[in-house]
Amino acid sequence: MPVGLTAVAEPNSSGIKVIVVGLGLGGLAAAIECKRKGHEVIAIDQQKELKPIGDSIGIANNAAFVVRRWGDGIVDKRLQKIIAHPDIMGMYDNKGQLYVNSDMAGYGHGQGYPAHRGDLAMVFYEHAQEIGVEFRLGHRVTEYFETDTGAGIVLGDERITADCVIGADGIHSKARGGIIGTDPAPHSSGYAMYRAWFDSKDVAADPASSWILEGAEKDDVTRTYLGPDVHVMIGTAKHGKEIFWMCTHKAVQDVYDVAESWSFPGKIDDALEYIKDWPILSKIEPILRKTPDDRLIDFKLLWRDPLPTWVSPKGRMMIIGDAAHAFLPTSGQGAGQAIEDAATMAICLELAGKDQIPLALKTTQAIRYKRASLMQQIGIETRDGWHKTDWEAVRKDTSLLEMPRPSWIFSHDCQEYAYREYGKASECVRQGVPYVPHNIPTEGAYHRQMDFRPPSNVAVAV
């Protein structure tokens, strides 16, 4: 019996056993959501210990719907202690001229969770442990397999079987080839990024850099500076206690054979080389120079074209999140769409039942595929708009610089939608006819509308 939108099923009551491989935010969300819907879960990661690595990330209002329901609001309360509190993002040219203070609708107070991705992951992990998710850390999956009645993985000499396997191991997924039978090589997006996140004490101690902290004790603020084929984003977090920054630039070398990795150290002089001619350099360089040597990452932005399917041939294995659909940072939705995948998948398994696992996973794909693909496109459009800015057009319409915040993205409750649409979508899958989703704009509608409005009880600065 389905438990519905907010209720939590009795542990293991569905009779469905799920293996989740990869424990980033998407994999942790998959483990939590499956457990909440009464499925037995084994969660596996090759790391011996989950650690808070990474830098800035934002879970927007649409994915926050899911997280707010965990633990009757307990997880939301924990997250309030670690998130940034941005109300605006200032959009500047490389001379330092402000064009628009874009409100952070969808990410601001009471709406989303902008934070350090590692801190977010630790809160997710803590909650997953509390609700009884079984973890197997320090294990590398060497094989994926499925039959008509089950699926599983091989860990060394051990074979683990379940009703289905979910691969959530990121853009460099090893699950992808084992699950869908193909693993197309990534290719260069044409861009790379320097990323950093660190304590603000040294920034605060220097008058040349402390300006970034003005007012941050009340509201964190992000500033984005735009130049030809490069943009620099600098922001505060935790009411000014921490600083993050990133510099996205056109790649000057072939990065086809270079992997995305959190372990490639960057050099501050190399990062500054991309903005050495900026008039604003003297103001922002003192901040960037405070970056500790071990906190700067040189991160290559690779790309994978949309895959033909996320589901295995027999329908008992599926990839989700970045393993299925890679996002550029300018989408603002990478983690959010992984969470939407996870929640939708858990509900489809609940509604289909143990005897119809392939139908559940194929229906998940039917519901999610076009929505995720369109948001991938938005990330490319936003990057190009920032790096190839038509400043004459911007002077007439400053909204051209703002991150798009359409209601179809930010107001969407993927769980409510999954319960409502499962019947229609699953029937289309049964009949072998296309499902027409309603979680994207109607055909011909403008997909970058700025029509999202926060709940009336949430204040957003303009």
Query: Which residues form the catalytic set?
Result: 195
**Alpha helices of 131-221 — where are they, by DSSP H?**
175-180, 201-205
Residues with Cβ within 8 Å of 157's Cβ and at least 6 positions away in sequence, in order, are: none
CA distance 154 to 156: 6
As to burial, measured by CB atoms within 10 angstroms (0-12 exposed, 13-18 middle, 19+ buried), residue 410 is buried
Alpha-carbon separation of residue 230 from 30, 299, 384, 389, 414 (angstroms): 35, 14, 10, 11, 34
Helix, coil or strand: residue 280: coil
Q: How many residues does the chain have?
A: 462
| 136's tokens | 């197997």
Angle, vertex CA 378, rays to CA 375 and CA 380, nearest 5: 120
Helix, coil or strand: residue 193: strand
Task: Give the phi and the psi of residue 369 in degrees, each rounded to 5.
Answer: -60, -55
CA distance 231 to 224: 7
Alpha-carbon separation of residue 121 from 35, 97, 113, 124, 190 (angstroms): 17, 36, 12, 5, 29
CA distance 380 to 240: 30
* DSSP type of residue 157: T
Helix, coil or strand: residue 225: strand
The DSSP secondary structure of 308-354, one letter per residue, reads S-SB-TTSSEEE-GGGTS---GGGS-HHHHHHHHHHHHHHHHHHH-G
The DSSP secondary structure of 99-110, one letter per residue, reads EEEEE-TTTSTT
CA distance 446 to 449: 6
Residues with Cβ within 8 Å of 440's Cβ and at least 6 positions away in sequence, in order, are: 370, 371, 374, 408, 447
One-letter amino acid for residue 55 of the chain? D
| 309's tokens | 């399917």
CA distance 191 to 254: 10
